[in-house]
Structure 1
Amino acid sequence: MPEQAREERLAAAFVELADTLVDDFDTVSFLHLLATRCVDLLDVASAGVTLSVPESAPLTSGSDEHSHRLEQLAVEWDEGPGLDCLRSGRVVDGALLANGRPHARWPRFAPHALLSGFASVAATPLRLRGRTIGALSLFREQPETPPVAQLRLAQALARLATIGILQQRAAHRQRVIVGQLETALRSRVVIEQAKGALSHRHRISVDEAFTLLRRHARSQRRLLTAVAEEVLNETTDPPQPRTEGTKTTETTERTETTD
């Protein structure tokens, strides 16, 4: 390809991989983008990506169905260059799949990759400042390892993708925290208003109103906020517990009526 066209495509790839702070960000689509850009810019037949996800199974993607399926099988079989790279945080420079060593290391992955038409594979980590979150696998149809310059470019693309993913995760966590704080604040306001309404309605103190509200929520096995909202809407009026004085008065009244 013309050098100028390649430079333009490389610049476009860097821009695309850096643009992760968007509302409709989709991780799987982003991994597919990384894989397809590697095929476009490097001398590889296919590329696959495995991304670790906290408290969940790894996400996988690929530039085509063959590479995606290989990444899925690697996770299922718990073997392969991508998983080795992810666990060690180090580059797998290149492995000729027809050799005995890859078959010993990856007894199921290597034969399946050969049957898919690939002769060699390399992998580079999605890594930033000592933190590895995934791996990028590069498949070639030739029994040759990738040139050093191409492997370095793959590392640069993987690092940029790592930065984008970590930024997106940080932004998502921030949105979750802000949402939780806003929900907690709204709940507190509703509860305080309900306490005031009950205090006025039953002529009791605010502390007594809160005890009444909480006791009713527990007896109904419902959220305190939900009961508080019903109190404000006047669809719920928690009954006050009877006191000894009240019981004595009621007993005296019944006796006097009988007499």
Structure 2
Amino acid sequence: MHHLLEAELQLALAGDKDHIDALYEHASSLLERDPKSKSAIEAGQVLISFARLNAQRFGQQEPKWLEEFSRLARQFAKSFPQEERQAIPILFAAGQSCEFHGLTADAIQCFATIRDEFPENAAAERATAILRRLNLKGQPLKLAGPTLGGGYVNAEELTGKPLLVVFWTTQAQPFVKQLPKLQELLGQIDAERLNVVSVNLDDDDNESAVQTFLESNGLNWPTIFQTVADKRGWNNPVAVHYGIQTVPLYWVVSSKGNVVEMSNNVQQIEPLLKKLMTPKPAPDGEQN
């Protein structure tokens, strides 16, 4: 059966419709015959591989493959609950892929499956945190922590005008590449009408390196920075609470303190910020 499934997988990936159908039919019939058999489990895994590889190759242009990857990952977890060591990583991979491509509803279903199907596994706590973040739109933001220079910032005390929260590290190339666009955007906005707070998630405790990065790029944001070693990087309490896994992240918060947008791309938040904000007035004598 192993060699048959592998052969069908390769032909299915080449686009052979008959072998695509055969993959699905084998997985369905083996599951119905004996859901605890090794053959049924392997057929389910091969079917997931088919969807996962197509999601990697075509997901950006054809989101249906990401949706199918998510569906099959959830189906595998529910059909083979005894296989949690395999099911949980598959669900995380599907959920992260869907989130990255903006399929939030599918991502939520994957992480909710981890939480609901495997509540005793340590992964359930992590999935719950991610769900807290994915469901954050429309909810009040809970964010606070010590800042560089010995201060403290609490988002609840910053209501009254919109807030932009930037999650970053000095080494994250996507953030470094997006920084000029972010600076350009913020330069067009009256600083008196927008609060900006950043959360640094560097792994080491080199405070001077983080401070140097901010100063060299002309960034004067209040920056949440943890000096305690076990609270650095992804162990930062804010990152743990919201299940943050990648940077950059940009969160736009309304003047009432509710999250209205989240994105990993500064260009996606640009229209909303411009809508919320009043641009800087042109200098005297200068016309638009």
Same fold (TM over 0.5): no
Hey, which of these two has a bigger chunk of strand by percent?
1
Larger Rg computed on CA atoms: 1
